[in-house]
Amino acid sequence: MSLKQGFNPYLPSWEYIPDGEPYLFGGRVYVYGSHDAFNGDTYCPNDYVCWSASQDDLSSWYYEGVIYKKTDDPFNHNGDMCLYAPDVTRGPDGRYYLYYVLNKVDVVSVAVCDSPAGKFTFHGYVSYPDGTKLGRRNGDQPQFDPAVLTEDKKTYLYTGFCWPDDKTRTGATVVVLDQDMLTVLEDPVTVIPSNPYSKGTGFEGFGFFEAPSIRKHNETYYLIYSSVARNELCYATSKSPTKDFVYGGVIISNADMNIDTYKPADKPMNCGGNNHGSIIQIKDKWYVFYHRHTNGSEYSRQECLEPIVIRSDGSIQQVEMTSCGPNNGPLAGKGEYPAYITCNLFCPEHTSQMLNIHWPLHDPRLPKITQDGNDGDETSGFVTNILNNSGIGFKYFNCKGITKIKIKTRNSGKGMFEVKIHWDGDSLGSIKIDNSDTWEENSSCLSIPDGIHALYFLYKGTGIAELASFTLE
């Protein structure tokens, strides 16, 4: 059977799912996340939905529908609170348990379902044996971003959110839950320190910020989390689920920070922003799931994935953001590709300092991925806000015999797109564009060397250009 190609984002371009937690149940990969809105003004205003794919084909995802409404929680019957990042585990009874936190409540809620795709129903709140809710006992840290792992009839619940300079929060904590999936058996302990408490721990510079996620490979527990850099997913490992975690490294950055294979390590190649995700083994391969930012804001995030390798010593090397992660290899060097699969958005003024001083972490000089219409409209995304010297990159393509490139653009000025295979390399040719209020196609005969390459389009001109797609011929 011939499979279609897989792109990032792997869900439709009009779907905005961040904080993805992937799980393999019964031969299918299910992704649970929060639910942003296109052109939204806050995090996670929509109900939880689920998407799934066969473990044999990560290019084709099925919409399972709404699995839990924000009004299903007794604290939120009027719907004025948002459902933040969730996680799911299969309990000792074989049912599926959904853990989440509402944005204005400092406790962990739980819902349950007999099947992984919902619909989930409210189950209760995580509480101590005396009935006090976790997060409300004196000395508890506010609950945020629950992550869960069930084994040997116990469930380990990790939570936490720590601003970099906040000394009132010690880091990511874990509690052990009983078989009812609600009652705390073992009190909270800190497993990854926050920034103020990281000195001398091995986590210096990579202290816990948010987004814990727990996985197990062989006899090693991997605690994935977002560090104080915000744009990166790090990991720590231990032989115990409740203690002795050691910092491992960065798995991915949604600005490709730290990567020095194709650019300087401190050069951001995307807008950055917060990150949340996890790792999963699907058949004989491992992947990291993470999210990117669109529309020039923090509030319209989308799911992506990349293959990773867990070495024999248990370590994970950081991987690049790509356009072809779900494809398990480069894309074909022929045919039309939508511009929303871009993985690099950059300009000369975009520096690592911007990532550190801006919150939200978006600069108006950068190109951005967007769409026409409203949230929920099934319209294809495109790249806008392409200014003079702005670059848009796509990785990777298996190029062979390419002699012509065609682009589909709208433009408020006029100019040209230079085509490159290195973001700062020599131009292989250019494609001229003119002022147009509608999508127009222009092309140029130019030669791309045979081999596996990235493709970059660098705009030189006036006004604001928009790119819908490009075609390799």
Residue 419, C-beta contacts closer than 8 angstroms, at least 6 positions apart? 405, 427, 428, 429, 430, 431, 444, 446, 448, 455, 456, 457
Q: For 224-237, b where at least 16 C-beta lie within 10 A, e where not — what string?
A: bbbbbbbbbbbbbb
Q: What is the DSSP letter of 47?
A: P
Of the candidates 36, 140, 210, 363, the residue annotated as catalytic is: 210
210 is catalytic: yes
Which phi-psi region, left, alpha or beta, contains residue 145 (left: φ > 0; alpha: ψ -120 to 50)?
Answer: left
Q: Pull the structure tokens for residue 130.
A: 């005396």
Q: Which residues pair with 466 in a beta bridge?
A: 410
Contact 438, 302 (CB under 8 A): no
For the beta carbon of residue 120, count every other beta carbon within 10 angstroms: 27
- Cβ burial of 444 (10 Å; 0-12, 13-18, 19+) is middle
DSSP of 211-265, one letter per residue? Answer: EEEEEEETTEEEEEEEETTSSEEEEEEESSSSS--EEEEEEEETT-TT--SSS-T
Cα distances from 90 to residues 32, 98, 111, 112, 406, in angstroms, run 13, 9, 12, 10, 49
Cα 85 from Cα 291, distance rounded (Å): 12
19 is catalytic: yes
Residue 366, CB half-sphere, CA atoms under 13 Å: how many? 26
Cα 146 from Cα 109, distance rounded (Å): 9
Specify the pairing of strand 96-100 against strand 415-420. unpaired
Q: How far is CA 322 from the centre of its chain?
A: 12
Of the candidates 15, 19, 72, 140, the residue annotated as catalytic is: 19
Say what the alpha-carbon torsion angle 402, 408, 414, 415 is, to the nearest 10 degrees: -20
Q: So which residues are the catalytic ones?
A: 19, 210
